[in-house]
């Protein structure tokens, strides 16, 4: 089996949250800390991400794919370009810059479409979350194998979606479950079925509205897997992912 870890990043963001808090049903640390507001912040964050791959090795060979959403940062885009084709522990690092559409979910989609012929499994994660446990990918894959009809292993947790989102996201009682930030592991087989149906992985490609991007991206990603008849699962006795800002 060949594995890829897709890491989404961006060089423009303004949200600051100093403390990680519980949120959701059942509650999880989904309201996580974040304070990366400058170019230097994001470069330090990405270097930290790469270093953490050495501190917390995946347990299986994998390539790391960093996908950058273009916000016009010449310095940031140049940094991403310099990372491409570097050797890292247990694999290689690939990086590219894309049009800034659909938040991380558009980045996940573009990266999957670009690399789907090369790998059997894909782990999706945003740059402000860290896979902070040794053998993090091996553990997730073993959970996949143990789960009947598995479509997605949530690495940061699953939560029920509040009814206030149902209409916008096209949800109902059978599919109102979401993997936070789309963070988790899925297979090329499952993801290709989504692409066969929609042409891409779910994301907001119509406007820049943040709520629409969550509804069509984060919630739409999980919904599309459930609607295909697959199961979402999570690792309740393992903490595989931590907020980067807390760790830094």
| CA–CA gap between residue 105 and residue 182 (Å, rounded) | 7
Q: What local confidence, expressed as pLDDT, does residue 206 receive?
A: 87
Q: What is the mean pLDDT of residues 2-22?
A: 94
pTM of the model: 0.97
Spatial contact of 5 and 138, defined as CB atoms under 8 Å apart: no
| CA–CA gap between residue 235 and residue 186 (Å, rounded) | 14
Q: What local confidence, expressed as pLDDT, does residue 223 receive?
A: 98
Give 98-143 pLDDT, tens digit per residue: 999 999 999 999 999 999 999 999 999 999 999 999 999 999 999 9
Spatial contact of 62 and 3, defined as CB atoms under 8 Å apart: yes
Spatial contact of 210 and 14, defined as CB atoms under 8 Å apart: no
Cβ burial 107-117 (10 Å sphere, 16+ → b, else e): bbbbbbeebee
Q: Examine the pLDDT at 25 and tell me if it is beyond 90.
A: no
Q: Examine the pLDDT at 15 and tell me if it is beyond 90.
A: no
Spatial contact of 133 and 239, defined as CB atoms under 8 Å apart: yes
**Residue 23 CB neighbour total at 10 angstroms:** 13
| CA–CA gap between residue 173 and residue 138 (Å, rounded) | 32
Spatial contact of 91 and 57, defined as CB atoms under 8 Å apart: no
Helix axes 74-83, 39-55, angle to 10 degrees: 20
Q: What local confidence, expressed as pLDDT, does residue 169 receive?
A: 96
């Amino acid at each position: 089996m060949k594995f890829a870890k897709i890491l989404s990043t961006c060089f423009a963001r303004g949200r600051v949250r100093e403390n990680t808090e519980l949120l959701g049903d059942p509650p999880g640390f989904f309201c996580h800390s974040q304070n990366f507001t400058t170019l230097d912040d994001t470069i330090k964050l990405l270097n930290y991400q790469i270093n953490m791959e050495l501190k917390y090795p995946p347990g299986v060979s994998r390539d790391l794919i960093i996908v950058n959403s273009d916000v016009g940062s010449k310095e940031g885009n140049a940094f991403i370009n310099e990372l491409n084709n570097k050797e890292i522990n247990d694999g290689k690092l690939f990086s590219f810059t894309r049009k800034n559409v659909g938040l991380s979910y558009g980045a996940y989609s573009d990266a999957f479409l670009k690399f789907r012929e090369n790998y059997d499994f894909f782990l999706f994660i945003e740059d402000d979350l860290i896979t902070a446990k040794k053998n993090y990918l091996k553990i997730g894959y073993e959970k996949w194998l143990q789960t009947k009809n598995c479509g997605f292993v949530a690495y940061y947790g699953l939560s029920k979606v509040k009814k206030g989102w149902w209409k916008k996201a096209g949800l109902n009682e059978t599919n109102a479950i979401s993997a936070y930030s789309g963070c988790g592991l899925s297979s090329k087989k499952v993801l290709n079925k989504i692409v066969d149906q929609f042409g891409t992985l779910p994301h907001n490609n119509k406007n820049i509205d943040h709520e629409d991007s969550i509804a069509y991206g984060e919630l739409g990603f999980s919904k599309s897997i459930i609607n295909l008849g697959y199961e979402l699962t999570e690792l309740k006795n393992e903490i595989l992912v931590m907020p980067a800002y807390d760790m830094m």
